[in-house]
Structure 1
Amino acid sequence: MGIQSSIEASSAKFTPAMQRVATAIRDTPSLVLNKTIYELAETCQTSVASVVRFCQALGLSGYAQLRMSLATELGKETAQYGGNLILGAEIAKSDTLREMASKVASLEMLAIDETVSGLDYEALERVVAALDKAQRILLFGIGASQFVAQDLHHKLFRIGRNAFLLADPHEAWTAALLSPPGTVAFGFSHSGETADTVRYIEIARQAGALTIALTGSPESPLAKAAEECLVSRARESRLRAGAMVSRIAQLAIVDCLFLGVANQRYEQTVDALQRTRDVTHPR
């Protein structure tokens, strides 16, 4: 995972002082390249010790490693996607519509690239096998995460899989509690902190279902509650309504899951897709 994505994924565990450092770097990553640790601490109205703790929370030895890692990352991103990402994920008030569109497009392409390149393919294969063999598939997410759950539901239902999209927490908890043998319970939350989704996974696991999490935070409560975890990588802007970039990253994983499941029974899948297309698009 890249440094900037690691900052995004780790934000929930930062102290207020560390949050200020994270916000400053997210807004303008080049600060780290242009400022000493003392100057950065002053800019963030915190101490040098807090900056060091921030680095260690990311698994780095200190500020020197943060600077080196970020310089390498920014260089690669600039070469691949252009200079917009140097300004960070934040949309500036002065940005034109064209500039905002360019930033969002760059970040979405980067999110897909980081997500796919960082996937745990052994875990992905286990999840595909579980979905293929499942007698019942329960899908639940809240807010923007429900859109991701809805997309997987649509794809699985279209090829005849016994998938259920759960609409509210009480419905999700009830379905999880009454999971029959062969149930797979799938929870979606970019932050991994959504309490209702965590509880749904906990109930399902206690009931004997195989539990799976799709989240952007591998150390989150949701990730720890589930038996299998798939991790997306994304850097969100504060100027957003629900998930934007993170939704695209999660949808990329959903597409990989669908293709994996579809490929398990290739001929059957092609036939199901053709028949459902014929009935929904009559000549």
Structure 2
Amino acid sequence: MEVKQEAGKTLLHIRSHYNGLTKTEQKAAQYILEHAPEIIYQSVTELASKADVGETTVLRLCRKLKFQGFQDFKLSLAQDLVQPMDYLHTEVTEEDDPSALTNKIITAHIQTLEQTRELVNPEELGKAIDVLHHAKQIQFFGVGSSGLTAKQAAQSFLRIGKRGGASTDTHFQAVEAALLSDDSVAVGISISGSTKDTNENLLLAKKAGAKVIAITSNARSPITKIADIVLIMVARENPLSSSSLAAKISQLSIIDLLNVGVSLRMKDQALKFKELTAKATSDKLY
């Protein structure tokens, strides 16, 4: 039975196995050794591209090093490199008082939004707003933290009269994707762009005839090859800081851009639906 590699010894483990690797595996291993702090923020696609090897080479290297896969490898590497406080925020220290903590965290969120603003392609955004405006059904797909964003997105579009939804169960997601049609839009939300369940369900949606919009932080990830329209947001996460609020704020800013853009196209109709949904819940408040 294989013994799983002990966390925190990743780089030493790579060096100790180096001479027993194939030439292409050595190429990938050398890139990892030279760029270790960057690797924890990359997808397998990005690493393979930068190391100039195939994705299968990277995955094979991970297995040779006794890791279950690339994510398992990145988690161990992050534990090698990241100090306990770093995954809360790179500039936060144990000496920070509440005032300093507030300034650092909120400044980081503002920077994330500013960087996302710079990355949003107006042409792609316009295309996304157009297809969402004409869609009879909008289905959002995401798992984990991105699944929560998908639920919020579905709610925001429902309030302006756009039917659709976002299931948390990946099997139900597959069913919903398969039942879409050419007057539907599937929106996939994935920070890495390499989430298997999300990408497979988007492929089902595309096969059913739906237009596919991807919201991701990785412009060279598998999800971008599936999507008809790609919107890039900023999320610098390592395995120890996944589900960060900064990333979620970035995702939600894209959702808000789309929602407001569609609302402006719908004009009076969107306002009518907003009033109806507001009245429907008004008696729930004291």
By the TM > 0.5 criterion, same fold?
yes
1:254 aligns with 2:270: no
Judge conservation of contact 2:151–2:165 (CA < 8 Å) in 1: no
CA distance in 2: counterparts of 1:281 and 1:118, whole angstroms = 38
Runs of 4+ more than 6 Å apart: none
CA distance in 1: counterparts of 2:278 and 2:184, whole angstroms = 28
**Deviation, structure 1 residue 156:** 0.7
CA distance in 2: counterparts of 1:143 and 1:90, whole angstroms = 26
- AA in 2 matched with 1:255: D
Judge conservation of contact 2:136–2:183 (CA < 8 Å) in 1: yes
Correspondence for 1:45: none
Judge conservation of contact 2:125–2:258 (CA < 8 Å) in 1: yes
- AA in 2 matched with 1:230: L
Correspondence for 1:134: 135
Judge conservation of contact 1:111–1:235 (CA < 8 Å) in 2: no
Correspondence for 1:228: 229
Judge conservation of contact 1:89–1:103 (CA < 8 Å) in 2: no
CA distance in 2: counterparts of 1:266 and 1:136, whole angstroms = 18
Correspondence for 1:277: 278
- AA in 2 matched with 1:247: K
For residues 48-67 of structure 1, what are the structure 2 equivalents within 5 Å?
57=50
- Distance of aligned partners of 1:281 and 1:154 in 2 relative to their CA distance in 1, 3 Å threshold: same
Correspondence for 1:200: 201
1:20 aligns with 2:32: no
**Deviation, structure 1 residue 92:** 3.6
For residues 2-21 of structure 1, what are the structure 2 equivalents within 5 Å?
15-21=31-37
Task: Tell me the number of residue pairs that the alignment of Structure 1 and Structure 2 aligns.
Answer: 213
- Distance of aligned partners of 1:252 and 1:178 in 2 relative to their CA distance in 1, 3 Å threshold: same
- Distance of aligned partners of 1:138 and 1:121 in 2 relative to their CA distance in 1, 3 Å threshold: same
CA distance in 2: counterparts of 1:242 and 1:19, whole angstroms = 24
**Deviation, structure 1 residue 237:** 6.8
Q: Which has the higher helix share?
A: 1
Which structure 1 segments of 5+ residues have no match? 1-12, 27-53, 59-87
Q: Deviations over 1:71-98 (max 9, x none)?
A: xxxxxxxxxxxxxxxxx83544444444
- Distance of aligned partners of 1:151 and 1:193 in 2 relative to their CA distance in 1, 3 Å threshold: same
For the residue of structure 1 that corresponds to 2:274, the secondary structure is: helix
Which structure 2 segments of 5+ residues have no match? 1-27, 42-46, 52-88
**Deviation, structure 1 residue 23:** 7.2
- Distance of aligned partners of 1:146 and 1:94 in 2 relative to their CA distance in 1, 3 Å threshold: same
Judge conservation of contact 1:158–1:272 (CA < 8 Å) in 2: yes
CA distance in 2: counterparts of 1:18 and 1:228, whole angstroms = 34
**Deviation, structure 1 residue 264:** 0.5
- AA in 2 matched with 1:125: G
CA distance in 2: counterparts of 1:146 and 1:90, whole angstroms = 28
- AA in 2 matched with 1:143: G
**Deviation, structure 1 residue 19:** 4.1
CA distance in 1: counterparts of 2:234 and 2:272, whole angstroms = 34
Correspondence for 1:161: 162
Judge conservation of contact 1:212–1:227 (CA < 8 Å) in 2: yes
Judge conservation of contact 1:136–1:162 (CA < 8 Å) in 2: yes
CA distance in 2: counterparts of 1:135 and 1:23, whole angstroms = 41
For residues 20-99 of structure 1, what are the structure 2 equivalents within 5 Å?
20-22=36-38, 57=50, 89-99=90-100
Q: Deviations over 1:141-180 (max 9, x none)?
A: 1111012111211111111111121221111112112222
TM-score of the pair, normalised by structure 1: 0.68
User: What is the percentage of aligned positions where both structures have the same residue?
Assistant: 27
